[in-house]
Amino acid sequence: MFKVACLLAIYTTWISCVVTLSVQFNYKDADEMVEFCLQNKIPMRGHCIFWEVEGYNQGWLKTLSSQELTEAVQNRVVDLLSRYRGKFLHYDVNNEMLHGSFFHDRLGPDIWAYMFNLARQFDPQATLFVNDYHVEDGEDWKSSPQKYLAQIQGLLKQDASIGGIGVQGHARTPIGAILCDAFDKLSSVNIPIWLTEIDVASSNEHVRGDDLEVIYS
């Protein structure tokens, strides 16, 4: 069955902060979107709690010491997931870990699993996802299915509470067989796979139709 959930960009709630440990969050836009979805019975998934790519992290985070950054990570999870506890079906916990190392470089190799397990503590009902792009299309050497699988297996060995594998489905080239092969590889860990974003952009309408058939089947 093909399932759809509204993707809410919750990462922006962390932008309005001061450069101190008394972090201030701005939930105005997020609260309005959540209320709209609840009133209209639209399922929601949260994107994202953290973003591992350095360029998407705010300047104030980059000024913090390791201890201060660890406290900021804790505050982020506790505040966000306590506020929306039970309202989101999914969270992308730390977005695009194949393409960045912001928290990993500053806080060490255990921080990723810690993020997942802290999130599980504060919203045990939500399914927690890894999420990355170009995993399915063979276009990016950083994010082959094999590398994604190895990363997931490494996190599972650290007892990270991973409940879903997110694949950002940006299909720009003929990829029907490649996509199926990627999903077959990822399925070996027996964790549900979701296409968290979808666009199929081949200029050839017949190729585009074939790729859409693969995606929706």
- Quick: pLDDT tens for 150-198: 999 999 999 999 999 999 977 666 567 788 888 899 999 999 999 898 8
Angle at CA 96, nearest 5°, toward 130 and 1?
A: 45
Backbone angles phi, psi at 52, to 5 degrees: -75, -20
- 139 carries an active-site annotation: no
Tokens of 181: 């092969």
Q: Which of 96, 136, 139, 205 is catalytic?
A: 96
pLDDT in tens, 56-67: 998 889 999 999
Is the pLDDT assigned to residue 13 strictly greater than 70? no
Is the pLDDT assigned to residue 30 strictly greater than 80? yes
In the chain, domain spans: 6-216
Q: Which of 54, 71, 197, 205 is catalytic?
A: 197
- 71 carries an active-site annotation: no
Q: How far is CA 81 from the centre of its chain?
A: 15
User: According to the model, what pLDDT value does residue 160 have?
Assistant: 98
> What's 6-216's CATH class?
alpha beta
Quote the pTM value. Answer: 0.89
207's enclosing H/E stretch is helix 205-216
pLDDT in tens, 59-96: 889 999 999 999 999 999 999 999 999 999 999 999 99
What residues have CB less than 8 Å from 16, skipping those under 6 apart? 24, 25, 26
